[in-house]
Amino acid sequence: MKNFMKVLVFGLMVAFVFTSCAKVPTQAIDTAKAAIDSVVAAKGDIYAQDELKKLNDDMTAANDEVTAQSKKFFKKFGKVKEMLAKIVTDADAVQALIPARIEEAKNAAVQAQTEAKAAVDEAKALLEKAPKGKGTKADIEAMKADLAGIEASLAELQTAIDGQDYFGAKDKAVVVKEKATVICDQVKAAIEKVKGK
């Protein structure tokens, strides 16, 4: 019975030493941080904002769990290791999504650019047909000046696409198209007004 008690006390002491000295999984933490950084480097902050926010939230939760376990007498980092492994897996999945999203954004920007250029070309053609009369010369000159500014915006749009600012390029293209459409509508209205006389 004495030997059994000695073995039991010794076993409990060994278990106590190993459980109370559990170490923070710093390598797993570093790996998870590196995985998140690689998502950011792949432009995840632009093309996978929601997913990146979730990864950062998960990392914060893992760090909170490390802090909570560090305060305990019997530290257990098994849950933290699982959380960190999931972060790495999720980060790899997000990183795999980004190239397709970049291509999608590029295609949308190029499509918007094409539509904007078509609207500008239409406005130019209509301005050539605009009725030239006593009261319209100043209006036509103003529209030509507006159109020149819009054409300059087309060049900026191409620069944005070349710089891989696809969302910015698409937004600029929408504005260019809207302005060119306004000129088209004004010229068409003037043409109809002349026809109606």
The predicted pLDDT at position 64 comes to: 87
Instruction: Give the N- to C-terminal CA distance of the chain in Å, as an integer.
Output: 120
% of the chain with per-residue pLDDT over 90: 12
pLDDT value, residue 41: 87
Residues 6+ apart with CB under 8 A from 46: 167
Positive or negative CA dihedral for 118, 124, 128, 129?
positive
- Give SS3 for 179: helix
pLDDT of residue 21: 47
pTM of the model: 0.69
Per-residue confidence band for 24, with pLDDT thresholds at 50, 70 and 90: confident
Task: State pLDDT tens for residues 83-106.
Answer: 899 999 999 998 999 999 989 988
Q: Give, in order, the Cα–Cα distances in Å from 180 to each of 25, 60, 88, 98, 115.
A: 59, 48, 48, 33, 10
pLDDT in tens, 34-62: 998 998 888 888 888 889 899 899 989 88
Largest CA distance in the chain: 120
Indicate the burial class of 85 (C-beta count within 10 angstroms; 0-12, 13-18, 19 or more): middle
Measured CA to CA, the distance from residue 29 to residue 22 in angstroms comes to 15
pLDDT digits (tens, 9 = 90+) for 138-190: 777 777 777 888 888 888 888 888 888 889 889 888 988 888 888 888 878 77
For the chain, give every domain's residue range. Answer: 24-101, 102-196
Q: How many residues does the chain have?
A: 197
DSSP string, 105-128: HHHHHHHHHHHHHHHHHHHHHHHH
Measured from the Cβ of residue 113, the count of other Cβ atoms closer than 10 Å reads 21
